[in-house]
Structure 1
Amino acid sequence: MSRWLKYIACALICSLTLGACSRMGLAYRNLDVIIPWTLSDYLDMNGEQKGWFHERLKEHLSWHCSTQMPGYLDWLDRLQNMVASNQVTDAALQDRATEAKQAIAETAREITPSAVQLLRGLDDKQVAEMNEAFAKDQRKRQEKYLNPSLDQQIKDRGERMEKRLNDWLGPLSQAQRQRVAAWSNALGDQNTEWIANRAHWQKQFSAAVAQRQSPEFPQRIETLLVDRERLWTPAYRQAFAKTEAQARSLFVDLMAESTPEQRQRLLTKIEGVKKDFSDLKCLKAAKQG
């Protein structure tokens, strides 16, 4: 997943599982990526489908902005208060993560009927192209994340995290950098289970789309988009739990080692996210309404 979730989740637990951060203004125009695949990346839609999709997307954005965005602002307030009061604990981070997951699920459930309608309208050529795009995605991730040696994977993961943290906290101290290195080392070959599970999900999605005219199709898609964790491989379920726990532990320790300047930078960054949200025209209109 990308865009708004990754942005605020980086502030929460800086988790590699959730990926890189990006600016809200660009992010919010792409609500379709709330699901674990980006339609424009995997589907070659024709003109009629694109027109229909963008109209539906506008409707979903309007719903999302008026019903969900106020909750995100409250969530950011809670996050900000944690940092300001120096109460960044494992339990508090678990609460924020649970709230974020619930928000994702609610939005995914809202857009599922549109996804079902779009997917049911695909022709066989489009489905074949989608499956080839999945295969290309797998090859690309294999090359980037699995082909390097394990030592290199660990080194690259630590460098990616340090780069993100530099953005949120400013330059890290030697102790903080060592903690990031220890975090990356503790995750070991997590990339293997992550990519295997991604391929597992894509395989199930392809199988569902192959039977897109069946009566069971809407329920299968809802499970794939809303209840993804139910379909995880046992190995990935275990790996993900470890990854989340390690990310929380990392963030707790980094904040314990943080300077007043780093905490202020983080608070300022979170305030910037809140402003990005508050400045959205749709949210202003919802408040006025």
Structure 2
Amino acid sequence: MTRWLHHLSLLLCLCLALTACNRVDLAYRNLDVLIPWTLDDYLDMNSEQKDWLGERLRQTLSWHCSTQLPGYLDWLGRLEQMVTSNQVSDDALQSRSQEARQAIAQTARQITPSAVELLQGMSDQQVKEMNQAFAKDLRKRQDNYLKPTLAQQIRQRGERMEKRLTDWLGPLNQAQKDRVVAWSTTLGEQNPQWIANRAHWQAQFSAAMAQRQSADFASRIETLLVDRESLWTPAYRQAFSATEAQARSLLVDLMAQSSANQRQRLAQKIAKLRSDLNALQCLKA
């Protein structure tokens, strides 16, 4: 996923989870249940650790709803205004992306102390299994994104993007489909860069976990969770700005080529998400 769409999906993750339950309030209230399952992809926690994490997540959820969610609602309002006024520009997208980065970093910073405490309590066997899970994750991504030929990678990237866009805009017209193909072709062979960067981050995380009782462990974890960009590989850092610019250019062009029905559909989906989040009881408390 492009970096800008990644920011968007992170900020709207509560709502995207509704494909399973169709109720924002239910998904939000049960994040303390949902989040450990994502952690279980890498950390095999015992029942005591899961109970401890569940309580911390409930506390974080209360903080998030009272202090962060109002900002998300404002962000969604600005996004909706961009669409309804048909003023999706490169400058506007840069602003929304920067706002999203700040919101994500603030939440990551809030959960870091709990993450540090949890990770310091991991046994050697749990760390070993985490490293094995990292290795499995990389093998899967290499199989999916590196083994195909470059032509196949470009085609698959375009297909994934078209599917995401269709969820928000409805069926794309031919000009939009052609623009997605051009975008994917321009990115070329970028898959090795982001997978190598992911492997580099995982290696840094594993190295920190190997010294989890050291005095600088908390600061290392904060860097890994909050300031990930400082750990990017040189190749990925060099390619990132151009890749993000290509993503913004794609979105600007797609909206310029959009129909009134597509813009209405997108605005309505954003408005519905905003309305559902605004109705959460935790905001009323």
TM-score w.r.t. length of structure 2: 0.90
Structure 1 range deviating more: 62-71 or 237-246: 237-246
In the alignment, which residue of structure 1 is the partner of 2:116?
116
Spell out the pairing of 1:171-182 with structure 2 (5 A cutoff).
171-182=171-182
Is the Cα contact below 8 Å between 1:7 and 1:22 reproduced in 2? no
Deviation of residue 7 (structure 1)? Answer: 8.2
Who is 2:264 aligned against?
Answer: 264
* Partner-residue secondary structure (3-state), 2:40: helix
Query: How far apart are residue 272 of structure 1 and its match?
Result: 1.8
Query: 2:99 is matched by which residue type in structure 1?
Result: E
- Other structure's SS at 1:262 match: helix
Report the counterpart of residue 95 of structure 2 in structure 1.
Answer: 95
CA distance in 1, matches of 2:147, 2:127: 29
Per-residue deviation, 1:275: 2.4
Gap regions ≥5 residues in structure 2: none
Give, in whole Å, the separation in 2 of the partners of 1:194 and 1:207.
20
> Which residue identity does 1:277 align to in structure 2?
L
Structure 1 position 38, deviation (Å): 4.0
Q: How far apart, CA to CA, are the structure 1 residues paired with 2:266 and 2:7?
A: 13
Check conservation: 2:79, 2:96, Cα contact below 8 A: yes
Give the residue type in structure 1 aligned to 2:169: L
Task: Specify the SS of the correspondent of 2:76.
Answer: helix
Taking the aligned partners of 2:33 and 2:10, their CA distance within structure 1 comes to 20
**Corresponding residue for 1:153?**
153
1:281 shift after superposition: 2.7
C-alpha distance in 2 between matches for 1:255 and 1:118:
44
* Structure 2 counterpart SS, 1:87: coil
Q: 1:32 to 1:149 in 2, by over 3 A?
A: farther
Q: 1:18-167 maps to which residues of 2 (within 5 A)? A: 22-23=17-18, 25=24, 28=28, 29-30=30-31, 38-167=38-167
Paired with 2:33 and 2:247, the residues of 1 have a C-alpha distance of: 26
**Residue in structure 1 matched with residue 277 of structure 2 by the alignment:** 277
Deviation, structure 1 residue 238: 2.0
For 1:189 and 1:195, the matched residues in 2 are separated by: 11
How many Å separate the matches in 2 of 1:96 and 1:76? 9
- Residues 66 and 11 (structure 1 numbering): CA distance in 2 closer, same or farther, change over 3 Å? closer
Give identity over the alignment, percent.
68
Cα distance change of structure 1 residues 96 and 258 upon mapping to structure 2, 3 Å threshold: same
Asked if 1:196 corresponds to 2:196, the answer is yes
Q: Which residue does 1:15 correspond to in 2?
A: none
Query: Residue 187 of structure 1 corresponds to which residue in structure 2?
Result: 187
Q: In structure 2, what is the Cα distance between the partners aligned to 1:11 and 1:54?
A: 21
1:203 counterpart letter in structure 2 = A
CA contact (8 A) 1:105 1:226 kept: yes
- The offset of 1:283, in angstroms, is 2.3
> How far off is 1:202 after superposition?
0.3
| 2:218 equivalent in structure 1 | 218
Deviations along 1:61-98, one digit per CA (max 9) or x if unpaired, are 11011100000000000011111111110000000000
**One-letter code aligned to 1:207:** A
5+ residue gaps in structure 1? 13-17
Give the C-alpha shift of residue 279 in structure 1.
3.0
Q: CA deviation at 1:31?
A: 7.2
| C-alpha spacing 1:90/1:33, structure 2 compared with 1 (3 Å) | farther
Distance in structure 2 (CA, Å) of the matches to 1:259 and 1:172: 9
Give the aligned CA root-mean-square deviation in angstroms: 2.4
